[in-house]
């Protein structure tokens, strides 16, 4: 029997033994487990929202939509589509194989590890888990110790729902993560920062373990002069300050056409007040920074540049105001590191090509946003830049489209997930060829003699 005192290597051996029974490969079993997870999430709604409020000060609506409802939607989607996902897909064969039948058979990878982050600590654990279950794997979950209450909640929810030989949660800090990464898994799914992602990949390479790395980077937001400024400001402020800026695809810096820079800043300032009031510290709709360490890091970004709005913070309550900055030097930390907080540097440009060149000189971002009604400029962005995803005339919303794969490119990540893509991430696409004994023409067997002429005639 697995317990929290059981050594990690022994716990993993129990999961491998259970996977070897082939029980998880049954479609009926997978559906039953997805339904159990759905019921568990539903029954823990209040506890989930409470844990998220404790860890991040998440407003109830943000926690409900982005964490609780997002997880339920994903499990509903998997239940609706899993029967088609698991079916072998037939592909064509050539005359050389006749008579034969060729298929692609999705099969589970085995025992997989999912390491989730602290910013959306519930949904970013549940969403990959749903795909891993649908694909037929056994799973080890490592929640972030920084979001401690949510980590405890996940442990309780999973332990009360599944056998530990099938899905198990291992809590802890850096030492536990390192111990897990020293083990051999059949896949590692990691969501977090780029530097830790490098360490995960390095550890996985020792065992030639494939990885999915959902990382981040500095996602740019470009604003042309042909847009509705009020609506643009509303969508930028919402996307930037959602979860107090602690979102991997939040706009990290703003590039605005110089002719509308001041007007847009004013619209952004007015929108911040509309959303959070004159004193956002008193707003029930504004989240908190996850830890003292993360808040202290954010304060260093204020040292270079001019603060137009915000800039104040309260360490005791982990509050950091929605902040707009201009004149930030390009070599300043705020323009070199992913901010991951409620600070938005604003830069100006005269020609869209300037913004594109600036973006292309830096690592490829996880998301790229363009506000413009000009379809030619939209196409220019698609052709001239590379990013994990693109959203026109809004922010964040692309992540809610289940059928769009979500993932980075270059330093912003490896691999993707969401919807069917998550199922595919945790599956091996096995090639299967079935041949039959009828109608064997013996043309491929020696002696070859003059058979080449027949092959040339039929194959060209």
**Residues carrying an active site annotation:** 214, 248
Distances (CA, A) of 244 to 150, 232, 239: 18, 19, 10
Phi, psi of 360, rounded to the nearest 5 degrees: -70, -15
Paired strand residues for 346: 254, 326
Helix residue ranges, H only, 329-374: 333-336, 352-360
Are 217 and 197 within 8 A, CB to CB?
no
Residue 223 half-sphere exposure toward CB, CA atoms < 13 A: 31
Total length of the chain = 460
- 376: how many CB neighbours lie within 10 A of its CB? 7
Structure tokens at 208: 């030639």
- 138: how many CB neighbours lie within 10 A of its CB? 28
Element (H, E) at 414: strand 413-414
Handedness of CA 47, 51, 52, 57 (dihedral sign): positive
Long-range (24+ apart) CB contacts under 8 A made by 450-458 are: 458/95
Q: Rounded to an integer, what distance in angstroms lies between the CA atom of residue 192 and that of residue 196?
A: 7
Are 293 and 340 within 8 A, CB to CB?
no
Structure tokens at 400: 């809610």
Q: State whether residue 369 is helix, strand or coil.
A: strand
Q: Rounded to an integer, what distance in angstroms lies between the CA atom of residue 274 and that of residue 449?
A: 85
Q: Rounded to an integer, what distance in angstroms lies between the CA atom of residue 226 and that of residue 32?
A: 52
- From first CA to last CA, the distance across the chain in angstroms is 63
Q: Rounded to an integer, what distance in angstroms lies between the CA atom of residue 122 and that of residue 140?
A: 15
CA angle (43, 44, 50) in 5-degree steps: 150
Phi, psi of 71, rounded to the nearest 5 degrees: -70, -45
Residue from 106, 117, 136, 31 nearest 75 by CA? 31
């Amino acid at each position: 029997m697995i317990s929290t005192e059981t050594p990690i290597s022994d716990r993993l051996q129990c999961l491998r033994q259970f996977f070897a029974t082939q029980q998880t490969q049954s479609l009926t079993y997978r559906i039953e487990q997805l339904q159990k997870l759905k019921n568990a999430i539903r029954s823990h709604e209040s506890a989930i929202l409470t844990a998220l409020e404790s860890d991040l000060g998440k407003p109830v609506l943000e926690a409900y939509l982005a964490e609780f409802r997002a997880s339920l939607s994903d499990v509903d989607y998997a239940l609706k589509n899993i029967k088609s996902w698991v079916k072998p897909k037939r592909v064509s064969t050539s005359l050389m194989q006749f008579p034969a039948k060729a298929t692609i058979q999705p099969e589970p990878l085995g025992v997989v590890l999912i390491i989730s982050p602290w910013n959306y600590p519930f949904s970013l654990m549940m969403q990959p888990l749903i795909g891993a279950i649908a694909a037929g794997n056994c799973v080890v979950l490592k929640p972030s110790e920084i979001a401690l209450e949510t980590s405890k909640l996940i442990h309780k929810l999973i332990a009360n729902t599944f056998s530990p030989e099938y899905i198990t949660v291992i809590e802890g800090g850096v030492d536990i993560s390192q111990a897990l990464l020293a083990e051999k898994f059949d896949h590692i799914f990691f969501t977090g920062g780029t530097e830790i992602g490098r360490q995960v990949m390095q550890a996985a390479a020792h065992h030639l373990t494939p990885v999915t790395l959902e990382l981040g980077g500095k996602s740019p937001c470009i604003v042309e002069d042909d847009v509705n400024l009020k609506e643009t400001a509303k969508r930028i402020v919402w996307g930037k300050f959602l979860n107090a800026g602690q979102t991997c695809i939040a706009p990290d810096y703003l590039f605005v056409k110089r002719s509308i820079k001041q007007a847009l800043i004013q619209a952004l300032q007015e929108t911040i007040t509309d959303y959070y009031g004159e004193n956002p510290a008193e707003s029930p709709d504004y989240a908190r920074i996850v830890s003292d360490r993360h808040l202290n890091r954010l304060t260093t970004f204020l040292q270079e540049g001019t603060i137009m709005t915000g800039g104040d913070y309260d360490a005791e309550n982990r509050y950091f105001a929605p902040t707009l900055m201009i004149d930030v030097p390009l070599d300043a930390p705020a323009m070199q590191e992913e901010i991951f907080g409620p600070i938005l540097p604003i830069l100006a440009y005269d020609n869209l090509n300037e913004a594109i060149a600036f973006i292309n000189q830096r690592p490829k971002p996880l998301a790229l946003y363009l506000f413009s009604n000009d379809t030619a400029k939209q196409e220019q962005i698609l052709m001239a830049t590379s990013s994990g995803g693109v959203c026109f005339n809004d922010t964040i919303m692309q992540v809610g489209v289940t059928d769009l794969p979500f993932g980075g490119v270059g330093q912003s990540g490896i691999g993707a997930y969401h919807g069917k893509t998550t199922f595919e991430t945790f599956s091996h696409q096995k090639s299967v060829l079935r041949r039959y004994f009828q109608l064997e023409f013996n043309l491929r067997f020696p002696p070859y003699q003059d058979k080449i002429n027949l092959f040339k005639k039929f194959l060209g």
